[in-house]
Amino acid sequence: MNYNRKEYSEDELIALYKGILKPRMIEERMLVLLRQGKVSKWFSGIGQEAISVGSAMALEQDEYILPLHRNLGVFTSRNVPLDRLFAQFQGKKTGFTKGRDRSFHFGSNEHHIVGMISHLGPQLAVADGIALADLLDKKEKVTLVYSGDGGASEGDFHEALNVAAVWGLPVIFMIENNGYGLSTPSNEQFKFKQFIDKGPAYGMDALQIDGNNLLEVYHTVKQTAASMRKNPRPVLIEAMTFRMRGHEEASGTKYVPQELFEKWAKKDPVENYEKYLLDELILTPKAVETIREELKAEIEEGLQTAFATPMPVANRQEEIADMYKPYVQQPVAPASSAKTEKRFVDAISDGLRQSMERYPELVLMGQDIAEYGGVFKITEGFVDKFGKERVRNTPLCESAILGIGLGMSVKGKKSMVEMQFADFVSVGFNQIVNNLAKSHYRWGQHADVVVRMPTGAGTAAGPFHSQSNEAWFFHTPGLKIVYPSSPYDAKGLLNAAIEDPNPVMYFEHKLLYRSISQEIPDDYYTIEIGKAKTVAEGDDISIITYGMGVHWAKQLQQEMPEISLEILDLRSLLPWDKEAVRNTVAKTGRVIILHEDTLTGGIGGEIAAWIGENCFEHLDGPVARVASLDTAIPFAPPLEAEFLPKQRLREKVEAILAY
Ligand SMILES: Cc1ncc(C[n+]2csc(CCOP(=O)(O)OP(=O)(O)O)c2C)c(N)n1
């Protein structure tokens, strides 16, 4: 192997040697422990250490790195204390996730590391978000993120590179091309020749390097990062390497031809570098021995401490509470009594504008939201007031934009991501339910992101512009969901959602945008998340509902003056107001849960079950649900009317009264 020490001092070269030897020695020890059944699973990076170590050591300490499952060298290069690292591997509380996630699935802001989720690709966009925050704050920093050649087939890879290129984000996309994704060789993974061919296609520079040559990796990343700090832009680096062990230890290596192991064994990044330093008389055999002994002692000490730590004891309250960043909302009342008549759509816009004024760290992202003002014109005029940096048109990359929201949170920013239609959130689903929602529980990093969801049917827009999909998120701990039904609530809940440091899904019904209006305070105010509102007092039946359902129930009350409906508008779905539900059930004894979403697996099922379990003694009849048909949403108005529950509400009210 050809090493070129360039201008690097002997101290630097020796530091690199210690840097690369450490993960190798830890791994060798791990393999023994694995055989002894003392660690459960191990993804080996043996043979690939030069990439993790060379690149991590080339960056400044406060530049973020987003490693994968083979990048032990990133953690050791950032001097993560070994006792904590091993405690993490063993599921101990003294690790980085309180025993909640395994191996390398953690981040540590102290070490400027954001770890992976198992899905591999999503963190590429998180790196974009960190880089965007730096760019907006005019900090001359780069962010480094890794991808394997297999994970690069994911759509997330494309989206993250595309957005980084369009926005000129200083991200190094380091592709560790080791020829295999688990057992799948490159020729069954992709058809192109090499990853550097992709760089120009995205409009970014791309470099190919020998990933086993520590000095080449180190030098390339150092030079590239220096240039990117001055001239922010993404760069793709393809590091050619080979995985000397199985995908993980249990998977074996039978699927890899033996000659490949023989060929790559000659290119071992640790042995070759050690030999180079010995040949150049930069190290003596004695010095090598001393370094190894020191590392061995450090590793053993770390292991002893970790092994001596007991397994975590579950504390139910703590487990549940940690899904969210601790935050006690202090509702804000409007500063004056000034009010103006506003439509639902204008109330949302008003809240968003005032939140932008209140939070300079708030950034809006969405398709066509800048000069065009968004398809529903909610951000019309925002670019003139707040500038394009904070009101960002995005490419059609929902997944990446949501991941960017998480990355921005790492740097203390707030984001609002507008889905053009709530239906399109399905292509960003993974980022929301697995990354944004679980991040705080896993390693204490909150996701300060509000996702605005123009939702609902009644506009003859067919199956993909009409869906109610709040139930997808209702089932996901870690998220909050709000769903206003009036202009007053729309503004107050949006402001509250933005204030809240946790990820909030904000549903806004499109049919309400321009069909209802109300006098609402001109000043900034918030409404408490998790609090329902009784919008009509009544005695005969409680209708527990939200969104459009509130209006259907009100209309029915007008059409049936002979009965007395109590209408409870939930306003927040996660958390939802159990006390208000209990009170109304106790009052009327008869309950209908009404929602526009389809029946099966809808939120009504959960609320009905809870009422059955907790309010049984108050009930005078069965808890009923009225919801849309369990079909996709049809386009033609007569079909859509049959799909929606409005007509069936009256029938159900009559049936419950007659029960
Ligand atoms: C979305 C998703 N699909 C499948 C897997 C299972 N899986 C984990 S690692 C892996 C192979 C990854 O290969 P590559 O990206 O080349 O990285 P390497 O393991 O070679 O370092 C697979 C299929 C996963 N974790 N996530």
Coil vs helix vs strand at 627: strand
Q: What is 533-658's CATH topology?
A: Rossmann fold (3.40.50)
The finding on whether 148 has its CB within 6 A of some atom of ligand 1 is yes
> What is the structure's pLDDT at 167?
98
Contact 159, 397 (CB under 8 A): yes
The finding on whether 211 has its CB within 6 A of some atom of ligand 1 is no
Which residue of the set 69, 158, 446, 465 is catalytic?
465
The finding on whether 221 has its CB within 6 A of some atom of ligand 1 is no
> What is the structure's pLDDT at 250?
85
| Cα 347 to middle of ligand 1, angstroms | 45
Span 481-490, mean pLDDT?
98
- For the stretch 62-94, pLDDT in tens is 999 999 999 999 999 999 999 999 999 999 999
pLDDT of 136 > 80? The answer is yes
Which ligand 1 atom sits closest to the C-alpha of 48?
A: 21
| Cα 355 to middle of ligand 1, angstroms | 40
Contact 388, 395 (CB under 8 A): no
Q: What is the CATH number of domain 339-521?
A: 3.40.50.970
Using 50, 70 and 90 to split pLDDT, how confident is the model at 179? very high
The finding on whether 46 has its CB within 6 A of some atom of ligand 1 is no
What is the torsional sign of CA 275, 279, 280, 281? positive
Span 358-375, mean pLDDT?
98
Q: How far apart are CA 59 and CA 103, in angstroms?
A: 23
Coil vs helix vs strand at 293: helix
Q: How far apart are CA 634 and CA 632, in angstroms?
A: 6
- For the stretch 453-480, pLDDT in tens is 999 999 999 999 999 999 999 999 999 9
Coil vs helix vs strand at 107: coil
Known catalytic membership, residue 465? yes
The finding on whether 149 has its CB within 6 A of some atom of ligand 1 is yes
pLDDT of 505 > 80? The answer is yes
Which residue of 175, 247, 256, 399 sits with most ligand 1 atoms within 8 Å of its CB, as the best mutation to test the pocket? 247
Kindly report the protein residue whose alpha carbon is nearest to atom 24 of ligand 1.
Answer: 119
pLDDT of 576 > 80? The answer is yes
Strands 517-521, 339-343: pairing kind: antiparallel
Coil vs helix vs strand at 343: strand
Which ligand 1 atom sits closest to the C-alpha of 178?
A: 20
The finding on whether 181 has its CB within 6 A of some atom of ligand 1 is yes
Q: In what order do the strands lie in the sheet with 65-66?
A: 65-66, 143-148, 171-177, 235-240, 205-210
The finding on whether 242 has its CB within 6 A of some atom of ligand 1 is no
Coil vs helix vs strand at 155: helix
Burial classification of residue 646, based on how many CB atoms lie within 10 Å of its CB (0-12 exposed, 13-18 middle, 19 or more buried): buried
pLDDT of 40 > 80? The answer is no
3-state secondary structure 489-530: HHHHHHHHHHHCCCCEEEEEEHHHCCCCEEEEECCCCCCCCC
The finding on whether 157 has its CB within 6 A of some atom of ligand 1 is no
The finding on whether 98 has its CB within 6 A of some atom of ligand 1 is no
Percent residues over pLDDT 70 in the chain: 100
Which residue of 182, 187, 429, 435 sits with most ligand 1 atoms within 8 Å of its CB, as the best mutation to test the pocket? 182
Do the domains 339-521 and 16-248+256-309 match in fold? yes
The pLDDT mean for the chain works out to: 97
Which ligand 1 atom sits closest to the C-alpha of 121?
A: 1
> What is the structure's pLDDT at 41?
82
Kindly report the protein residue whose alpha carbon is nearest to atom 9 of ligand 1.
Answer: 182
- For the stretch 305-330, pLDDT in tens is 999 999 999 999 999 999 999 999 99
Span 355-370, mean pLDDT?
98
The finding on whether 247 has its CB within 6 A of some atom of ligand 1 is yes
Q: What is the CATH number of domain 16-248+256-309?
A: 3.40.50.970
- For the stretch 384-433, pLDDT in tens is 999 999 999 999 999 999 999 999 999 999 999 999 999 999 999 999 99
Contact 543, 406 (CB under 8 A): no
A 10 A CB-CB count for 286 gives 8
* Domain layout of the chain by residue ranges: 16-248+256-309, 339-521, 533-658
The kind and range of the H/E element at 439 are: helix 439-443
pTM, full prediction: 0.98
Span 225-247, mean pLDDT?
97
Using 50, 70 and 90 to split pLDDT, how confident is the model at 516? very high
The finding on whether 557 has its CB within 6 A of some atom of ligand 1 is no
Amino acid code (one letter) for 358? R
Kindly report the protein residue whose alpha carbon is nearest to atom 19 of ligand 1.
Answer: 181
Neighbouring C-alpha atoms within 13 Å toward the C-beta of 427: 16
Span 8-37, mean pLDDT?
96
In the structure encoding, which two tokens stand for residue 496, read together?
């509250």
Span 36-61, mean pLDDT?
94
Which ligand 1 atom sits closest to the C-alpha of 182?
A: 11
> What is the structure's pLDDT at 360?
98
| Cα 537 to middle of ligand 1, angstroms | 56
| Cα 33 to middle of ligand 1, angstroms | 24
Q: How far apart are CA 241 and CA 235, in angstroms?
A: 19
| Cα 70 to middle of ligand 1, angstroms | 11
